[in-house]
Structure 1
Amino acid sequence: MPLLRPRDGDALRAELRRVAVLGDVPVMFGGEVHGDTLLITEYHGVRTGGLRGLAVRSNSGLGGASMVAGRPLAVADYRNASSITHDYDGPVLSEGIQSVLAVPVLVEGRARAMLYGAYRTGAPFGGRVADLVVEAAQRLGDELRIRDEVDRRLRLREAHLTTSGEVSAEQIREVHAELRLLAVSAPAALQDRLRALADTLSGSDGAAPDGPPLTPRELDVLAQVALGCTNSEAARRLSLKPETVKSYLRSAATKLGARTRYESVSKARRLRLIP
């Protein structure tokens, strides 16, 4: 795992706790998929140690079937369910679990993790609670996808450095702009981290030493303009209207004491707001 990447298990645990609180689900657990095996590592509301570290094989149990099918699966009476294998009855039944919902966390169509919700009664999963678990899996999938893309781009740059022995200022600017672009569509919890990584490339914390700080959007626009993008191109890349891009440029220019877009970029670079 790359040094700069947060622990994926922490994001998974946060989603489990969120669903448990919002949906009043007594038992939540899950883990990451490694090859064809799911390793249960995160828990909320468990009473025994039976589920801790449990390895679930593909097509085995409810979770293994959901992992292969790539869609949520549920049983309202786990002990007597005929639609699943019962390889893990010991740890599941020792928790007193009767009703279970398993939802895969998909990234590029492949299960990267699994989320489970469970009741100690025969109440079926459905409606709002099922929606909460599915939405949590979608959020986590989006976050893992963004993290993967950041890692991929950083690895490409590292490979380039290894082969060429140097990196140009333009390449640094491209990476900086790409990180800020990723932050635009990233989950809220990941946006600040992506922008902080971008700021490390410019050697700043996003604030001009002798003036008011530029907003994240102003820096996003300046980063695109610094690559030579027109207002229309910057707007398309940032999912903004061209008029909105102009507004951000005017605001940034005022704060920087600049008269043109190119002077804004020049002053922002001197202040180390962008590389």
Structure 2
Amino acid sequence: MSETPLEVPVTDALRRIRRSSGVSLAFGGVVTGQARLLLKHFVGTTKGALSGLSVDTGHGLGGKVLTVTRPMVVNDYLETPQITHRYNEAIATEGLRAVAAAPVIVERRVVAVLYGALHSDNPLGGRALDTLTTEARVLEQEIAASRAVLESEACVSPDVDGMRDAMALAYTRLRLLARTVDDDQLSDEIARITEGLLEQPGRGREPLISFTGREQDVLSLAALGYPNARIAGELGVTVETAKGYMKAAMRKLGAGTRLEAVVLARRAGVLPG
């Protein structure tokens, strides 16, 4: 089963937490429509006892975090008086002792909770809690930006949306065609036609951000909804090379996702539409 747009950045955040904080297990989940936290993302050593666990508001560490909407840490999960112990059996099966959790809050609502835990008797230090909290804030920004992009896309009328897709396809095909012709004059003319598709009333001709030709190519193909493998095939490069071009373009745009990069590229005048 594929991950939802919210769950993908949750998994990425857990990988960074596991790598940077020193915890032996990073895990988390998203809040469901029943205001419960469903644990389904794990990075690190796990026996699977927590996988699929539905955490009720107010119970356990995650449920407490849902209630108080702030990060918390307990250095002996099974004995601490700070939380209820409804989920002690699963925690004991996993062999976890110190556990920290941080809420991910978007539009004043907790949408996910990130955890970091140790299998040893060592307490969780400030570094681990700081990392967890920072990643929760980063995730909030990513989710908020993605939602804003989706809402912006939804506001475009079907006719305008279809016209924009047709322009994007023409732009991409013309860019690729220009690379295949041997006639310099013809190639220059194709390039002029291609750049003309970027001109829009009320916007200067020169984009504010400078991209390499390959970065523009991957952005234009991503705008058509092509996955990395197809982008690589169209450009005659490896998938990793295509990913590298995309990451470079996203970095220049300050985008957290491919969808956001496409929208920002259009606004910057790098793509038609």
Is the structural similarity TM-score above 0.5? yes
- State TM-score, norm by structure 2: 0.61
Is structure 2 residue 141 aligned with structure 1 residue 167? Answer: no
1:204 is aligned, of 149, 156, 172, to: 172
Q: Does the Cα contact within 8 Å between 1:63 and 1:102 map onto a contact in 2?
A: yes
Per-residue deviation, residues 108-150 of structure 1 (Å, max 9, x unmatched): 2211111100012333323222221111111111111111112
Match of 2:19 in 1: 21
How many angstroms does 1:167 deviate by? Answer: 3.0
Residue matched to 2:48: 49
Tell me the percent identity: 30
Residue by residue over 1:10-60, the C-alpha shift from the partner in whole angstroms, topping out at 9 and shown as x without a partner, is 221121122112222101110111131110011122332210100011111
Is the contact made by 1:204 and 1:273 (CA closer than 8 Å) also made in structure 2?
A: no
**1:208-233 deviation line (CA, Å, top 9, x unaligned):** 8446xx9xxxx9xx97x8351579xx
Q: List per-residue Cα deviations over 1:165-204 (Å, max 9, x = no partner).
A: x3389x95xxxxxxxxxxxxxxxxxxxxxxxx9x947743
Matched, 1:58 2:57: yes
SS of residue matched to 2:82: coil
**Inter-partner Cα distance in structure 2 for 1:146 and 1:44:** 25
Task: Give the TM-score taking structure 1 as reference length.
Answer: 0.61
Q: Deviations over 1:72-131 (max 9, x none)?
A: 011111111111111111111111111110111111221111110001233332322222
2:219 paired residue number:
none
Deviation (angstroms), 1:156: 2.5
Q: Is the 8 A contact 1:37 1:58 kept in 2?
A: yes
Task: Give the 3 Å change call, closer, same or farther, for CA 97–121 of structure 1 in structure 2.
Answer: same
Cα distance in 1 between the residues matched to 2:171 and 2:155: 21
Equivalent residues of 2:72, 2:102 under 8 A apart: yes
CA distance in 1, matches of 2:144, 2:173: 26
Aligned length: 199
Task: Give the SS at the match of 1:78.
Answer: coil
1:145 to 1:126, Cα distance in 2 relative to 1, 3 A: same
SS in 2 for 1:43: strand
The equivalent of 1:228 in structure 2 is 202
Give SS of 1:113's match: strand
CA distance in 1, matches of 2:148, 2:170: 21
Q: Residue 123 of structure 1: SS of its match in structure 2?
A: coil
Q: Distance in 2 between matches of 1:134 and 1:82?
A: 23
Alpha-carbon distance in structure 2 between the residues aligned to 1:201 and 1:40: 41
Change (3 A) 1:50 1:126: same
Gaps of 5+ in 2: 179-186, 211-269
